[in-house]
Structures are given as structure tokens and as C-alpha cells.
Amino acid sequence: MTLREKVGQLFVAGFHGTAPSEEIVKLIKDYQISGVIYFARNVEDPKQVHALSKELQKAAKDAGAAPLFISIDQEGGMVARITDGVTLSPGNMALGAGRSEELVYELGEVVGKELRLLGINMNYAPCIDVNNNPLNPVIGVRSYGESEEFVAKMGVQAVKGFQDANVSAVVKHFPGHGDTSVDSHLDLPVVPHDIKRLKELELVPFYEAFKHGVDAVMVAHVAFPSIDPEKVPSTLSRKVVTELLRGEMGYEGVVVTDCMEMNAIIDYFGIEEAAILAIEAGIDQVLISHTFERQTRAIEAVIKAVELGRISLEHIDAAVERVLTLKEARNLQEGLLDWDDCESEIGTASNVELAQKASEASITLVRESAGLLPLASKDKILLISVDPYVTSGADDTLYQEVTIGSFLERKLPKLTEVISSVTPEEEDIEKLLLLASGVDKIMVATYQGVQHDSQADLVRRLVKKYGDKVGVIALRSPYDVDKFPEVSTYILTYESRKLALKSVSKFLLGEIEAKGKLPITLGTAQVN
């Protein structure tokens, strides 16, 4: 391999469009890049994704390059790039509430098999951050919970499931993104804890994943001054990647960056220097998700750094060997089946039923002290549903036509559903208070109410005026209740995907029990 081809194997690129763009084909042809990443912008439906994967692998073969890693963030729940026509797993905190390691494994294997049929051979999942900060804007329900041992157990099952389906799992975000109050898509988070605390908490799930042979690990754009006093993002820190991850923890697999176009990197470093620093730190795969110009500049900068002697060829060779070894181990040279041969295996009734089972097991009743439930056909009910929105850079896009009311209206003829803004104005709140005056029961479906004072204010004012007639369903963050502890009925779904809305509707109607258990501690309830 030439130097250019070797360096190309250390880069993963995103692109725009639902067919191979001119830019991504050029990166494959001119640099023989290691892989690509899919976002929602690359997805129409499973058939199109299958065709796209086939075309991209053909481009690599025509260029004489190694087969591509085709990667995706298909975590489940609120972070998923393919949402229709496939089996969409509940997210990690929902699975954490369900407490079934067996279901986590089975869903990992199901999702993995479907991804592989679509030509996707690497999943940037599971997220094994320990969520112990209620104000974390980017992890939250992407975590299994707040106990490091519990997160480790569940994470290992997801890894096994994906990899038994021959899809590389990528655990993230090393050394831990759970105790941050800043979204690294927007700025550089700093975790102040000492190394003793990190080893006792944040690092525990990673030790377990490494012990069970996870293919790859993604490093976070988070600074840990106790590990590296320079306060650089872990992605660019030799002390984190080489000394801690490789040396002390003995990890020998592939190490991937989070996207290098996040503000935590791009606001502090140029893309060229950031790419060089990442490779020097010990990174094997530099992920640049969006901009062709930055992708080419970064690759050229690393080539030049090797030519000038800043990075040794031996260092590059070792990284390339890890990458190619994994590609061979996962049999990436194996061609895709024809669409007609795999269509019937994707999004099957039995697979979706498994996901629904897991979703129903996640519904958590924190408290119900007023006899508000179940909802009955004789009840005059006002349902206020807060419109979900993209809460962080990890969400990508969020659009769905269904609401809780979509599932309830057939059995509750006296139900009125009103869609509210995530940040209702005073005028909106006054209208809703008035609308609630003539009903028997009021249900409010909040969405990240913990981050939006006016949404919490709506609930508090409803409770003040109507008391125990008011119940809350938290459609994402379980911590919403800490903003309105006076509410007497509080239910958690951990996400607002269709499966979760269907599951909570069945619970509201008394068709299923709420068997989920809190995987985190609330101000009003303890982890159990």
C-alpha cells in the first residue's frame, strides 16, 4: 500500500444524499478511505440503503481498496438513523428499566442482522456511559442507568448481540460522557473527577466490554484534567488513548473518534491539526461526518505529517494493521445478498413484536396516588402532548405522525388531545388552563420538561388548579418530575418513539401493567 492509501484507511467520512455523492466517490477513489457513516440524510427506506451500500462497496472494489466499514449510529430509541421499515429497538434507558439482559442481547442480534443485510457492518453502539448527572444534555436516556455494574452488564449483552450478527459494536464514549452538563456537539465538556473515581465508576463498563472482546471503542470529546492536565479532548490526548486505554487497560482493538466536526474540536483546533493530534494520540479511525473540504484537508495533513517525520510510518502501519485485521475478521469482503433475498428478513413481524415486548416492559409508574388510572371510556379527558424536538446533536432528525392520542382515541371517545410547544407561552398556558376546566382527567405528556421552565410551569399551574386530576407522562427525560414534585401520578416512557407511545397507551387503558423499574434516582424516587 502507498502512504496515501495507508492514511486513507485511518479515515471515515460522511456525505450528503441518498446515492453515492461525487465527493464520497472521490474520497474512496483518491484516498481509499476506510469507511463511511450513514445519517438520516442518507436514508429513504431499507431498499434504498441496501442499494447505497452495494454501490459504495463497488466503488471501493473498483478503486482496488479494502472493503469499507459502513457505519451508523443505530443505538435505538431516540438515536437512530433508520426508523421505518426496520426493527427499531427501544433506547438504552428504556431497556434498563426493563431489566432483561436476555432482551438486550436478542434485540442486539436482531438489529445487527438487519443492519448487516442492509450492508451496514459497524454500529456506533452501545452507549455505555454511566448517567449520573440529571442535567446531562446529550447522554441522558441513551444510558442504561446510573449504576456502573448495571450499565456494564447490559452493555456487554448488546455487544454480544451485535457481534453475533457479524456487526462490529463500538462502545462509547470513552472514558465517559455521563457526568457532563455540556453537549460536546456544542462545546468542550470537562469532567473534574480524579482517576480513582473514574476507575470506580466511568471506566467499569469499558473494562467489561474489553474483557468480552468488543471490536471497537469510540473516544469522547471530553477533557479529563485528572488524566491529562493539558485539558485537551480525550480524542486528542495520548495520555488517554495510548497510556490509559491501550497501556493500563490493555485494549488492543480499533479506536475511533467521535465526529471531528463537533464544536468541542472545531472551535479549538483546525481540522488538520486535530486529525494529526488524534493519530498521534493513538486513534485508528478519524471520523469526519459532514464536510468534504475538511475531509480532504485532514487526510492531506496527516500524509504530510508522515512525510515530514512528525508521525512515524511504523505508527501508521500499526493502526492500519488493526483496521484491516478487523475488516478481515468481520468478513467485509463478503458481498451483499440481492434485495429480493433479504427483504423478507428485515422488519419482520416477529422482530417488531420482540421490540414491542421490550418497550412494554420499560413503562415505569413512579407513583399513582389519586386513582387516576386506568382511563375509561366514560371519562372526559384532556391530553396535552408536548411536541418532541431534536434535543442534541446526537438526535439527527425527529419526525413522527403519531401521538399518544393516536392510540387512545379509538377507545376513549371523550378524549381531546392538544399539541403544545415544548416552550409554551403565557397565552398558551392560560388557554390550556381554561380548556382543562370542564374535564374529569388531565394527562400531560412532557418532553425534556427538566430543561424547559415554561413546560414545567404549565404542569405546576395545572396541578395547583386541578390537583389530583392531573397526571404526567414523561416522554423522554425521567427527571422532569423534579421540576413538579407535587404531581400525584407520574409515568415514564424514556422516549417518544411509536413503540413507546403504543406501550404507554396500553398501560393508560389498563391493558398492561407498568413493570419497568427506575434505573436512575429521582428527587422523588430511588433507583430500584
Distances (CA, A) of 361 to 32, 157, 159, 418: 45, 17, 21, 27
* Coil, strand or helix at 168: strand
Identity of the residue numbered 52: L
Q: Considering only CA atoms, which of 169, 149, 257, 266 is closest in space to residue 212? A: 169
Phi first, then psi, for residue 424 (nearest 5°) are: -65, 140
Place of cell 413503540: 499
Place of cell 446526537: 394
Q: How far apart are CA 471 and CA 255, in angstroms?
A: 46
DSSP 388: P
Q: How far apart are CA 475 and CA 499, in angstroms?
A: 12
Report H helices in 221-345. Answer: 238, 263-266, 271-281, 292-307, 313-329, 339-342
Instruction: Count H helices and E strands in the chain, helices first.
Output: 19, 14
Among residues 173, 185, 221, 452, which one is catalytic?
A: 185
Among residues 258, 284, 395, 480, which one is catalytic?
A: 258
Q: Residue 362's Cα: distance from chain center in Å?
A: 17
Q: Is 212 considered catalytic here?
A: no
Q: Considering only CA atoms, which of 40, 80, 93, 139 is closest in space to residue 475? A: 93
Tell me whether residue 410 is exposed, middle or buried, using C-beta atoms within 10 angstroms of its C-beta: 0 to 12, 13 to 18, 19 or more: exposed
Place of cell 469522547: 220
Q: How far apart are CA 42 and CA 48, in angstroms?
A: 9
Q: Is 185 considered catalytic here?
A: yes
Q: How far apart are CA 112 and CA 168, in angstroms?
A: 9
SS3 track for 481-503: HHHCCCCCEEEECCCCCHHHHHH
Expressed in angstroms, the distance from the first to the final Cα of the chain is 55
Grid cell digits, residue 188: 468542550
Q: How far apart are CA 333 and CA 475, in angstroms?
A: 42
- Which are the catalytic amino acids? 185, 258
